[in-house]
Amino acid sequence: MARMYAKRKGKSGSTKPHNESAPEWSNTDSDAVTELIVELGKAGHSSASIGTILRDQHAVPDVRAVLGKRISAVLSENEIGGTYPEDMMNLMRKAVGIIDHLGSGNHKDIHNKRALELTEAKIRRLAKYYISEGRLSADWKYKRDQLRLMVE
């Protein structure tokens, strides 16, 4: 499949090996893994960093093989996390960084102006999806001047 904003094809991504169960060397205690996820989530870690910590320090290579659900599902069940989905929040942080860059004397940086436009388009597309899924309110709109308040 081609890239959305470039005239080239993308590289294919890697896929995990298809395994029904967790390896015998891994930690398969679901209560302990859930407790670790909740503890790391309360400490402020993102779901990606929680997965890396569980893999590297606690011998849990795949949380879905142990629990049958994703890390973000465990965090949302325990009401941990922000008001916005994590991928959308990362894009909003990126937009704030670009806005800061353009505002601090780099207003002629046309490449980052374009990057800001593309990032804002991604935010709007994600918002449309999350509104249809019910994870954002139906009257939510992206506003550049209120972006810093949403991120902090």
Question: What does the pLDDT read at residue 19?
Answer: 78
Question: What does the pLDDT read at residue 2?
Answer: 64
The two structure tokens encoding residue 99: 């806005």
Question: What does the pLDDT read at residue 151?
Answer: 83
Of 113, 112, 116, nearest in space to 91 by CA: 116
Identify the top-confidence range among 7-11, 16-20, 83-87.
83-87
Alpha helices in 1-152 (DSSP H): 30-42, 47-57, 63-67, 71-77, 86-103, 110-133, 147-151
pLDDT digit string, tens, across residues 134-150: 999 999 999 999 888 88
| Axis crossing angle, helix 110-133 with helix 86-103, rounded to the nearest 10 | 150
Question: What does the pLDDT read at residue 9?
Answer: 77
Residue 14 binned pLDDT confidence (cut-offs 50, 70, 90): confident
pLDDT digit string, tens, across residues 39-58: 999 998 999 999 999 999 99
Check if the beta carbon of residue 41 is closer than 8 Å to that of residue 50.
yes
Question: What does the pLDDT read at residue 88?
Answer: 93
pLDDT above 70 coverage of the chain, percent: 99
Question: What does the pLDDT read at residue 137?
Answer: 92
